[in-house]
A and B are shown apart, each in its own frame.
Chain A
Amino acid sequence: MMSDNVLKIEGLWHAYRNEEVLKNIYLDLNSGERTAILGESGSGKSTLLRCIAGFERINQGKIVLNGRIVSDHILNVPTEDRNLGMVLQERALFPHLTVKNNIMFGIDKVSSKNRIVADLAKLFKITSILDKFPSEISGGEQQRVAFARSLAPEPELLMLDEPFSALNQELKEELYAELIRIFDERNVAVLLVTHDLTEANILTSSQAKLDSGELIKT
């Protein structure tokens, strides 16, 4: 029987310059499930996401994505082969590309790319700004584009690294409601990293706390 497990982390240890940043982490995430990782600055939240994405190598344990081991103490599957989506606090939109080309970036070999962009633009209410450059749109719009771009390749796991921290409260609340609807529609697993408990409660159904590198279920 096919498991609907999207992410499985078993006994993950990660050290940076001989300092242990993540200690013996265990985490499971199933399709459509949304979990938040809470914690103070420097607690290792972002490092955990970077390990899952393959930007950092792990020292011990393993990371399994959709039933395939992608990281252990020897193996480190390249990021581009992990089929992940990730939205960063800094959005990381390509400033030399229009909104449309940003969204299309990860699916340029897909024949239905124009339809996918149109659907996502409609979903995120950014149809009117598709031909604009990132520097010509507001912070809230940029964040919508970043979400749309990360969802375009239809990843089974979407990781969100403090994606709302640069937005004001009004914009955040507007986005929360829309995102929950979109996540449910697409049945995508979401791993949210945040220091904001209210945000975690609104967007996710389960939470865990990273404290000095150790993950504590709450």
Chain B
Amino acid sequence: MASIFIAPIVIVFFSVLGPYSENWQHLVDYVLLDYVSTSLYLAGGVALLALSIGISTAWVVTNYNFSGKAVFEWALILPLAIPPYILAYTFTGLFDSYGDANNLIRNIFDLEETYIFFPNVRNISGAIIVFAFTLYPYVYLVTRNSFLNQSRSLKEAGRLLGLNQFQVFYKIALPLARPAFIGGLMLVIMETLSDFGAVDHFAVQTFTTGIFRTWYGLYDLDTAMQLSSLLLLVIAMFYFIERRMTKDIKHTTNNSTFTTSAEVEIKGLKAFIPFLICFIPIFIGFVLPITQLIIWAIETNMNLLTARFLSTSLNTIILAVSSGIICACLALVINFSVRLNNSDLLTSLKSFLSIGYALPGLVLAVGIMKLFVYLDRSFVSEFGFVITGSLVGLLLAYIIKAYALANSAIESGYTRISTSIDNSAQLLGSSGWRLLCKIHFPLMKTSFLTAVLLVISEVVKELPATLVLRPFNFETLAVTTYMYAAEERMYQATGPAIAIVLIGLIPLIFLTKMIRSSRST
């Protein structure tokens, strides 16, 4: 099984060794430098903005008590439900020359039709804003957690040693939270570099748009794969930094007795500052796109349930639920085996299978396509392309990409089952499959369901891999949204986009529950 997971990555990775075609030389001569510089500029801009938003909001909600704070604390993760490409579509709908926001300004101030108030968003600055405001929750979540786990006594020790409140923030709290927020930041960068939908909509030339064009424009899978291998190397670097930082979190946790931090009460006009710090990201990352989608839905007289919408929804549900169940079952069996056998090999396998989340969907798709073409030609050539272009490739991509989510839910479920339960069951004659089916699974139903739902929400949003690997004429919600948006048919894109956002909200319900309970314990 591990070989199926590893093969697409290995194929892409080793394509860097060549041979190189003329198209590669063309890319090197004319566009590769642009892809690299634009991708780096985009990732850098997003990193700076997401970091500022994530850290400032986390600091404000953990250290100050102000009106609305209880809601902001969980509402700040809501933008995670909006995939960057949907925010990009709604942004252009709002801020294009004749978008709703510009129309509103012209109507309010009775201005000429040619007057444009909001600047053009279809550029790299617009892309930076879109990514930062949808991805900052990755930084917010881990940084908030880190700030919450910092003992009050550390900050008080800083005050006693002469630091004011701001100095306590940047000399003590921030360095202590560094491994956490850098880990979150790496996820932001990896997601930014992996995206295809938003950058394509804004016509920003990055690695992913380059891979897509090489494949679909030049019809050169091998060169697309070589381009993918470069992106894979960059992603791998960020992945290892993220892993390293996660390990370092232990090093910066306080080993002394823990005392929770006291919150500073802010009232009156001063409370407006933390209120704004929290409100603006939620407004831009969640309220604005939702409002635009609702406006479009109203303008189409809520006529969203078209035949195409229903068939793509059914396709999406079948694929997402199948991937969810397969991932959850795999995670359950692997974690069960690790628990029972406790072997280093199984533990390493479990960790290795979780790497998939870091892989860009497009890179994964390129690898799977190459693998399936090879398998078709080697074993089933007389039937033509049987595996290539089937749903198998799509399912495999989803499973590789989302396995880590299922694994984390199952792993966390297992930590709540004492090993003494296993011992008792074994003493009573239950071991192996019987132990798994009769004891563990009933105890882990909630974790299993969480795993399935997490995978579903990820699969529903996935665009680039679906776009490339889907069978001919097979559409999902993400693909339909993309295709309508590419043709600027935003009204038709509204139905599938709303469905994606609603499904994306499911895991956030679990997360908000966790956020609330982290305060009460």
Residues on A lying within 8 angstroms of B by beta carbon are: 53-55, 78-80, 84-86, 88-96, 105-106, 133-135, 142, 149-150, 153, 166
Q: Roughly how many angstroms separate A143 CA and B156 CA in the complex, as a whole number?
A: 17
**B156:A95 contact, CB within 8 angstroms:** no
Q: How far is the CB of B264 from chain A (nearest CB, A)?
A: 11
Partner of A135, one of B159, B172, B255: B255
A-B contact list, 7 entries, CB within 8 Å: A53-B156, A79-B156, A79-B159, A86-B156, A90-B257, A95-B253, A134-B255
Residues of B within 8 A of A88 (CB): 153, 156-157
Contacts A135-B251, A135-B255 known; 14 new A-B pairs at CB < 8 A: A55-B156, A84-B160, A85-B160, A88-B157, A90-B151, A92-B154, A92-B157, A94-B157, A95-B251, A96-B252, A105-B158, A106-B162, A149-B157, A153-B162
Q: Roughly how many angstroms separate A80 CA and B255 CA in the complex, as a whole number?
A: 24
Q: How far is the CB of A105 from chain B (nearest CB, A)?
A: 5
Given the known interface contacts A96-B176, A133-B251, the answer about A90 and B164 at a Cβ–Cβ threshold of 8 Å is: no
**B161:A149 contact, CB within 8 angstroms:** yes
Q: How far is the CB of A140 from chain B (nearest CB, A)?
A: 14
B256 interface contact, C-beta 8 A: yes
Residues of A within 8 A of B160 (CB): 53, 79-80, 84-86, 106, 150
Q: How far is the CB of A141 from chain B (nearest CB, A)?
A: 12
Q: Roughly how many angstroms separate A5 CA and B232 CA in the complex, as a whole number?
A: 68
B259 interface contact, C-beta 8 A: yes
Q: Which of A89, A96, A106 gathers most chain B CB within 10 Å?
A: A96
Q: Roughly how many angstroms separate A92 CA and B156 CA in the complex, as a whole number?
A: 9
Q: Which residue of B lies closest to A86 (CB)?
A: B160
Q: Which residue of A lies closest to B153 (CB)?
A: A92
Q: How far is the CB of A30 from chain B (nearest CB, A)?
A: 21
**A96:B153 contact, CB within 8 angstroms:** no
Q: Roughly how many angstroms separate A150 CA and B163 CA in the complex, as a whole number?
A: 13
| Number of B positions contacting A (CB below 8 A) | 25
Q: How far is the CB of B378 from chain A (nearest CB, A)?
A: 54
Residues of B within 8 A of A105 (CB): 158, 161
Q: How far is the CB of B260 from chain A (nearest CB, A)?
A: 12
Given the known interface contacts A93-B256, A94-B172, A96-B176, the answer about A80 and B159 at a Cβ–Cβ threshold of 8 Å is: yes
Residues of A within 8 A of B176 (CB): 94-96
Q: Roughly how many angstroms separate A119 CA and B240 CA in the complex, as a whole number?
A: 42
Residues on B lying within 8 angstroms of A by beta carbon are: 151, 153-154, 156-164, 172, 175-176, 178, 251-259
Residues of A within 8 A of B253 (CB): 95
Q: Which of A94, A134, A149, A153 gathers most chain B CB within 10 Å?
A: A94
Residues of B within 8 A of A93 (CB): 157, 256
Residues of A within 8 A of B255 (CB): 95, 134-135
Residues of A within 8 A of B254 (CB): 92, 95
Residues of A within 8 A of B162 (CB): 80, 106, 153
Partner of B257, one of A54, A89, A150: A89
Residues of A within 8 A of B154 (CB): 92, 94
Residues of B within 8 A of A54 (CB): 159
Q: Roughly how many angstroms separate A85 CA and B161 CA in the complex, as a whole number?
A: 7
Q: Roughly how many angstroms separate A39 CA and B172 CA in the complex, as a whole number?
A: 33
Q: Roughly how many angstroms separate A90 CA and B259 CA in the complex, as a whole number?
A: 9
Residues of A within 8 A of B256 (CB): 90-93, 142
Q: Roughly how many angstroms separate A189 CA and B180 CA in the complex, as a whole number?
A: 41
Q: Roughly how many angstroms separate A153 CA and B161 CA in the complex, as a whole number?
A: 7
Residues of B within 8 A of A150 (CB): 160
Q: Which residue of A lies closest to B253 (CB)?
A: A95
**B175:A96 contact, CB within 8 angstroms:** yes
Q: How far is the CB of A3 from chain B (nearest CB, A)?
A: 24
Q: Which of B159, B251, B258 gathers most chain A CB within 10 Å?
A: B159
Q: Which residue of A lies closest to B163 (CB)?
A: A80
Given the known interface contacts A91-B256, A92-B256, A96-B252, the answer about A78 and B159 at a Cβ–Cβ threshold of 8 Å is: yes
Q: Roughly how many angstroms separate A127 CA and B157 CA in the complex, as a whole number?
A: 22
Q: How far is the CB of B121 from chain A (nearest CB, A)?
A: 40
Q: How far is the CB of A142 from chain B (nearest CB, A)?
A: 8
Q: How far is the CB of A155 from chain B (nearest CB, A)?
A: 8
Residues of A within 8 A of B164 (CB): 78, 80
Q: Roughly how many angstroms separate A53 CA and B152 CA in the complex, as a whole number?
A: 14
Residues of B within 8 A of A78 (CB): 159, 164
Q: Which residue of B lies closest to A78 (CB)?
A: B164
Q: How far is the CB of B250 from chain A (nearest CB, A)?
A: 9
Q: How far is the CB of A185 from chain B (nearest CB, A)?
A: 21
Residues of A within 8 A of B156 (CB): 53, 55, 79, 86, 88, 92
Q: Which of A53, A54, A79, A135 gathers most chain B CB within 10 Å?
A: A79
Q: Roughly how many angstroms separate A88 CA and B154 CA in the complex, as a whole number?
A: 10
Q: How far is the CB of B22 from chain A (nearest CB, A)?
A: 53
Q: Which residue of B lies closest to A55 (CB)?
A: B156
**B161:A106 contact, CB within 8 angstroms:** yes
Q: Roughly how many angstroms separate A166 CA and B153 CA in the complex, as a whole number?
A: 16
Q: Which of B163, B176, B254, B256 gathers most chain A CB within 10 Å?
A: B256
Residues of B within 8 A of A91 (CB): 153, 256
Q: Roughly how many angstroms separate A94 CA and B163 CA in the complex, as a whole number?
A: 14
